[in-house]
Structure 1
Amino acid sequence: MLHDLPADARTLGADLRALRKARGLTLADMAGRLGRSVGWLSQVERDLSDPSIDDLRDMAQVLDVSISSLFRVSSSPGEEGLIVRANRRRPIGNRAAGLVEALLSPDLTDDFEVVHSTFEPGASLPAPVSRPTQEVGYVVSGRLYLEIGDQAFDLGPGDSFRIRGEPFRWHNRTATPCVAIWVIAPPVY
């Protein structure tokens, strides 16, 4: 059961609370959207109550995240909340066809999140998006065409970028995947 975890372990409840706050939602706002009581949601966020799969699906929809991002991959003893092994990354998002993302941060409770993004050949974000975040990215391999505001950039390995709430979109115009590391504050996944 969730509430049997050590008090200092990062939990589903802590992740849900962080996501809710990052979206500017109060307990009452989110509970209302879920058709649940504030007390129930508070207990879930404090790991005193376990949500059902249907509850998790509804929460993911309200928080605009994939349901898979709410499930944790088990850690080795003593590593919970500290270490993320390469073969135990939590898949997140996949909102755009051809974009595969995994959480590099141990959880979503920090003021930022670190994301491993793989942009498949030909993948693109069709319309610009803007979000109330500050983001820094680093291209590890491949090439990424990035538009920030009204400027366009062709980025390769070792290049980095920053987005401060401006509208942006991306495109991998090559025949090989592009891998980038993104740091996003506050967390959005």
Structure 2
Amino acid sequence: MPDDSVALIGPRLKSWREKRSMTLADLSQATGISSSTLSRLEAGKRAPNLELVVPIARALRLELDDIVPRKAPDPRVARTKKRMGDTWYESLSPESSPVQTYKVTFPANPAGITAVPEPRVHDGQEWLYVLSGRLRLVIGEQDVVLGPGEAAEFDTRIPHWLSGVGTQQTEMLSIFSKEGKRIHLRARPAAPSVRSTETPR
């Protein structure tokens, strides 16, 4: 048990006892532990151990997690970066997350591409945001170009394809729901569609 957690056990027990409107005498009678021992424990003058904490937790109707503060996990995401062709994908969310977030970097494409490769189809819902450069998005019968500050959302079961356009590389954020949950609540489109919005500046 970390030292800082041990030091907080006594004050937390006292706080819970007072929330339960119990006196030291009440808790002593419920646990069989003397009032003086309970008082010293709450004041941090008696080291806590399972023989003391377990009966106190039972008497106060608590779980041990209510008494021993949980240590906050490291919130930083272990980022991985992989290359597929000329495009880089950098993960910005844990692999276990139901919603996956990536930073995608497309290479410069000054000549553009007129022939669209075989579009992709997979379960899910995707929301993307262009950070820099220009992004070409082909979805269904629509073919649009998005610039910095623009966003799009679409059902990934509709055939789609993305590519950078222009003389500089294109960077975008992609948020993808593996379970097909929608990133933004809205009605399901009746036909292949894409919605593009420009972020207010």
TM-score normalised to structure 2 length: 0.47
Q: TM-score, normalised by structure 1?
A: 0.50
- Bigger radius of gyration among the two: 2
RCO (CA 8 Å, sep 6+): is it higher in 1 or 2? Answer: 1
